[in-house]
Amino acid sequence: MPSRTTSSTSLARYAWLSIAAAILTITLKTVAYLLTGSVGLLSDVLESFVNLAAALMALAMLSIAARPADENHAYGHGKAEYFSSGVEGTLILIAALSIGAAAVQRLITPRQLEQVGLGISVSIAASIINLFVARLLLKAGRQHRSITLEANAKHLMTDVWTSAGVVVGVVLVSLTGWQRLDPVIALIVAANIVRSGGRIVYQSVSGLMDTALPAEDRHTIQKILEPYTKTGVQFHAIRTRQSGRRRFVSLHVLVPGVWTVHDGHTLLGKIESSLRQALPNVTVFTHLESLDDPSSWKDSDL
C-alpha cells in the first residue's frame, strides 16, 4: 500500500543563479587572462565555461525532475537529476584535459606574465562570487536533497580552490621569475579537477543503480520499526533507494493471523506516518502478511 508526498518547491531559481554567476565569472576571468597571459588563469576560464554548461544542464534536468508522476513515469522524474550531475562530472573531466594540454604547451614554451596585480584582483573578485553562490547552492542542495545542486555547488567550490591555487602560482611566478611555475600550477589544478569530476560521476552512477539509502537513513528506519517488534510484529524484505530528491522504502509487515484486516491496515498507517515524519520526501510501500502463513517467509532473505 503505497503512500506518497509531493513537494511544490522549485529549485530552478538556483540554477538561474548559477548561470548568472558563470557568465559573470567567465567575463572577469577572461579579462584576467588577457591582462596577464597566465595559462593558470586560462585554466580558470575553461572551468568557468564548464560551470556555465553544467548550470544550463542543471536547469533543464531540474525542470524535468519537478514534473509530477504520470502514466509512463509512475515513480516520478527524479532520476533526471542524475543525468545532470553525470554530465557535469564528464564536462569537468574534459575541462581538466584541456587545461592539461594548455599547461604542457606552456611548459615547452614559457611566456612572460604581464599586469599581474590587476589580473589577480579581477580573478579574486570572480572567486568571491563563486564562493558566495557555491555556499548558497550547497545549503539548498542539502535542504532539498538535490544531487544536481550539490554537484553544482561542489564544482563551484573546486573552482574557488582552483582560483586560489592559480593566484598563488601567478604571485610566485612574479616574485621568482620562474615562468614554468605557472603551467606546473595549472597541471596541479587539472589533477584536482579530475578528482572532483570523478567523484561526481561516481555519485551519479550510484543513483542510477538504485543504491540503498545512506546508513544514517537506514538506521532511522530500524529505530522506527523496533518498538513494533516488541509487540509481536515482525518485518522483512526491507528495501530502500533514492531517486533524485525522493526516497523510497518498501517492507513486509508480518502480524498475528488472528488480526482483522482493519487492525493490520491501522498498523500500516501508523508505520507509514512515522517513516514520512522521520524521512522527508519519502514514498513508503508496505505489504501485510500473516505470521501464521508459511508462505509469508518465502522472501524473508530479500
Confidence band (pLDDT; 50, 70, 90) for 281? confident
193 and 278 inside one domain: no
Number of domains in the chain: 2
70 and 199 inside one domain: yes
d(CA 26, CA 52): 9
Which residue reads 514520512 in cell numbers?
276
The tens digit of pLDDT for each residue in 79-92 reads: 777 777 777 777 77
pTM of the predicted structure, to 2 decimals: 0.60
Determine, yes or no, domain membership for 38. yes
Confidence band (pLDDT; 50, 70, 90) for 300? low
Identify the domain containing residue 29 by its residue range. 2-208
Q: For the chain, how many residues are written?
A: 302
d(CA 38, CA 33): 6
CA atoms within 13 A on the CB side of 43: 41
Positive or negative, the CA dihedral 144, 146, 150, 152 is negative
* Mean pLDDT value across residues 53-63: 78
130 and 30 inside one domain: yes
The tens digit of pLDDT for each residue in 223-270 reads: 999 999 888 899 999 999 887 677 899 999 999 989 999 999 999 999
Which one of 188, 208, 228 terminates a domain? 208
Helix (H) or strand (E) holding 249: strand 246-255
The tens digit of pLDDT for each residue in 152-174 reads: 787 777 778 777 777 777 777 77
Determine, yes or no, domain membership for 302. no
124 and 180 inside one domain: yes
40 and 160 inside one domain: yes
221 and 197 inside one domain: no
The tens digit of pLDDT for each residue in 180-226 reads: 777 787 787 778 778 777 777 777 777 777 788 889 999 999 999 99
Determine, yes or no, domain membership for 181. yes
187 and 240 inside one domain: no
Average pLDDT, the chain: 79
Confidence band (pLDDT; 50, 70, 90) for 6? very low
For position 270, what pLDDT does the model report? 95
Determine, yes or no, domain membership for 189. yes
251 and 291 inside one domain: yes
Which one of 148, 177, 208 terminates a domain? 208
Which one of 179, 208, 237 terminates a domain? 208
For position 4, what pLDDT does the model report? 38
Check residues 195 and 286 and name the one with the higher pLDDT: 286
